[in-house]
Structure 1
Amino acid sequence: MIGVGDKAPAFHMAASRGREVDSAALKGRPYLLYFYPKADTPGCTTQACGIQEALPQLGGLGLTVIGISPDPVSKIDKFADKFGLDFPLASDPDHVLADQYGTWVEKSMYGRTYFGMERSSFLVDGEGVVRAVWRKVKPAEHAALVAKAAAAL
């Protein structure tokens, strides 16, 4: 499980709107990886729209934002288009990166246990070191927490 002070794992993934996200391309720049369970669900929509609203402020701080879910790119594209999400939403269908960050976890609902994505975020500095971690993020509070931490980088 990745924590504050750890080196961020490298990644390369397909993302929304025909993009790709690659940690090597982000070298020297801070970025936020936020893991969310499922595109176009109420909590994920609240979280994504909050990030979209804060994007001018976060971009002004030099921060790149990348959302990550296990959804296929086709579903992520529909989500991004429906809500006008300009930042890349990456697909991690085999939860490779989620496993490295410890966000692919056992969950339970209605007495049934299953594995799924924990809503978590990781702020990584320009040197590739994790500087802040938020686990079990509350969607409505997420953008404000990220903006405050990013301003302190």
Structure 2
Amino acid sequence: MEELPEAIEISPRGDESPWGGDSGNSGPGSTILSGNVTSFEGEGENSPYWANLNEERKGPSNGGWFAIGLILAPGAMWFVSFILFIIGDSMPDGPDEIFYMLAWFLWPAGLIGGLVWSFTRGSKYFAYGLLTALAVIPAVFILSMIVMVIVFIGF
């Protein structure tokens, strides 16, 4: 179990010490520190108290991950699926079925794999983008077709 640092009390320097005696750990006009403050010394990577402010965030922003999950990942899966289908279409009967199967199984494997990866190790906004591409966009297209039919029929 990790050992936690002791409690630290910081009080303003007054005319007399809050403990009733002269404090040896404070200078004139400074604060009084009591307790173990050695854990605040390290400014390196191992210190939990100091963050490197010059270090930039790595990777895209949350909106960038959402856009990648919404547009780029489904687009890449569609492109690879299309290429596999074209390869299967150009082959004679027999081996073409393998490429057709790969083209069809790419979508569920890519979506499920992308969702599992993004919720467990990646950015959850990538998963939200994939879910939006999977559920919301088809729902919008279906609703727009219903509106189009209603407008053309004239309800």
Is TM (by shorter chain) over 0.5? no
- Of structures 1 and 2, the one with the larger relative CO (CA 8 A, separation 6+) is 1
TM-score bracket, normalised by the shorter chain, equals under 0.3
The structure that has the greater radius of gyration is 2
**TM-score, scaled relative to structure 1:** 0.21
Give the helix-richer structure, 1 or 2.
2
Give the strand-richer structure, 1 or 2.
1
